[in-house]
Every structure is written in structure tokens, then in C-alpha cells.
Structure 1
Amino acid sequence: MRGFKVFVLALLSVMFMAGFGGCEKKEWRAPEKMHWDRDMCERCKMAISDRNYAVQVVDPKTHKHYKFDDIGCAILWFKEEGIEWEPKAVIWVKDAKSGKWIDARKAWYSTNQVTPMGFGFTAYSKKEDAGSGEVIGFDEVKRRVLGRGR
């Protein structure tokens, strides 16, 4: 019986250290892990494979994550689906220079790249990283995407 108690205690310890203890609380605002070439764009249903243009949107009420292959798809999805929580949504986009997730609303965008869905906007955390061409902010990206009428 002593061996069984030791076994159970050891098993519980391993489970706790592996994160099954229930004490770990995941930050819902943080981007989820991407499964490249398997996760599908919420709007166009294409596999997300280009790491420079991926986008994640987080619903502030349900904490559900939605993934996109291009910032243009995310912006059109909000409109097409009538998403009322858009102003409060957490929007992550990949920084094309560092590869890190950055706040899409604070990012700077170059306008001259070939992107997965052809919108042409590449995100950067620093304006100077966006290059010498035209560099715009999120509100202008949104205005241009919605103005295309796709």
C-alpha cells in the first residue's frame, strides 16, 4: 500500500509540474500558437503559411482567437460578419522584421509588398523598419481595405 501512495504522490507531482494542476492561468489577450500550413484563415479559408503576414483577432468577451492570413482578410471579416465588438478586439499582426506578434493598431505598414491575399500591407513595430516607401498607420490600412470593395 505504501508503494501505491508513493506512486500516486509522484504522479500528482508530475501532473502539477506539467501544468495540469489548474493553477496556471493563460492570458487570453496573448496570441495563440500558430500551426503553420494547418490553421485556416477565418475569412478566405486558405491555409496560413506566410509567417510575415499572419493576424490573430481575439474576441474580448469570449476570448476566442480567430486567425487570418492577411490584415486585409481580418478587416473585411469584421465588416462582412457584422462584428460589433471590433473596436474592443485585440488584434495581433506579425512584425515582418522581428517575426514577433505586435499590436496591429500600433503597427506601421509599408504599402508595397506582395502579401498572401494581395492587399499589400506589411506590418512593423517601428516606422523606420518599414522602409523608404509609403508608410501608413492602421486606420489608413483599414480605410484602404474597406475602400477596395472586395
Structure 2
Amino acid sequence: MKKLIPIVMIFIVIAIVITIFLSMSNQKKMVVIHTGNNAKVPVDITLNHFQDTQCGMTITSKENSAQVISPEGKTWFFDDVGCMVLWLEKIDFKEQAVIWVYSHDTNKYIDGKTAWYSRIAKTPMSYGFGAYEAKQEGFIDFNQVILYMQRGENLTDPYVKQKLLGK
């Protein structure tokens, strides 16, 4: 009888693992790349169903989200402008990419290359770059966002956070 207990336990563990894998396979798959966007327009994302290409986080809000579209019409999604900029540095087509960012002031996707950015926005990955259509005092352009991200000068750096927010 004592010899049967370990064998029964092994079968129970195997059954649990199989059940977990089967239940995971029935769940909806997360969208990381959307194909066929030849018009290069922002994709209407379904919240909690799209995943950030850079950090892997689920996109739970359009606010602060971004989309990058390749010349071939593939679209990648991001929950934070900072994640998008980090990812852009790794791709070959960054000069030809169409970039959409969700605007805080107009609540719609706007051209990320012509948008203006706050450095103190509350963003999912805490980089702090919030997109706006209209320029305001202290806002920076897209090229400056890239430069600050390359240098690591964003709200994830305690020194920068202290300087910008006084915290």
C-alpha cells in the first residue's frame, strides 16, 4: 500500500498539469502583431487582448499606447511610448515606419513623429512620455524622446524623477 501512494501522487500531478495546459489552450490568444494593415492606419485594439511587443504587458488602456506599422503593413503594439522607442532602435525599417501614439489632449491616435510629448505623464512602464497633439510649454518632440530614452533619462531614473517631479 505504501508503494502505491507515490505512484498515485505522480498520476495526480500529471493530471493537474494536463488540465492546466488544456485550459490555457482554450483561452483567447494575445495579439502582438497584426498583419494586412496596408492603409497604415491605427488598428482598433481590444483592451486586454493586445500585448506590448517590447515588454510583454497586456494593453489595458489606449491612453499612452502606441502602434508601429512597417512598410509591408505589419502592426506592432505598445502600452508605453518608451517601450515603442526601445523597440524602434532594434528594427531596420525605423525611418519608413508609420508611428501612431494615443494623444492625451484629443483622445485619438495621432502621428507619433509630429506629436509633442510631456516628460511627466503617468505611464504603464513609468517612462513618463505622454503624447499630445498641441504643443505646450516644456513639451519635447519625438527626436528628443528618442534621445532621452537612449540615455535612460526618463522617470525610471530616480535622479530624473526627482528633478522633474520633485519626488
TM-score by length of 1: 0.74
Instruction: From the CA coordinates, give the structure whose radius of gyration is larger.
Output: 2
Show structure 1 runs of 4+ deviating over 4 A. Answer: none
Alignment of structure 1 residues 111-126 onto 2, 5 Å = 111-126=119-134
Aligned with residue 46 of structure 1, among 26, 40, 57 = 57
- What is residue 69 of structure 2 aligned with on the other side? 58
Whether contact under 8 Å (2:117, 2:130) holds in the other structure is yes
Is the partner of 1:145 in helix, strand or coil?
Answer: helix
Q: Deviations along 1:25-51, whole A, 9 cap, x unmatched?
A: x75210111111110000111001122
- What is residue 47 of structure 2 aligned with on the other side? 36
Q: How many residues align?
A: 119
Partners in 2 of 1:106 and 1:64 — Cα distance?
A: 21
Q: What percent of counterpart residues are identical?
A: 33
- Structure 2 residue runs without a partner (length 5+): 1-36, 157-167
- Structure 1 residue runs without a partner (length 5+): 1-25
The structure showing larger relative contact order (alpha-carbon pairs under 8 Å, at least 6 residues apart) is 1
Is the partner of 2:47 in helix, strand or coil?
Answer: coil
Whether contact under 8 Å (2:105, 2:134) holds in the other structure is no
Whether contact under 8 Å (1:50, 1:116) holds in the other structure is no
Whether contact under 8 Å (2:119, 2:139) holds in the other structure is yes
Partners in 2 of 1:57 and 1:145 — Cα distance?
A: 17
State the one-letter code of the partner of 1:114: K
How far has the Cα of 1:102 moved from its partner?
A: 0.3
Whether contact under 8 Å (1:71, 1:121) holds in the other structure is yes
Alignment of structure 1 residues 1-150 onto 2, 5 Å = 28-60=39-71, 62-79=72-89, 82-128=90-136, 132=137, 134-148=138-152
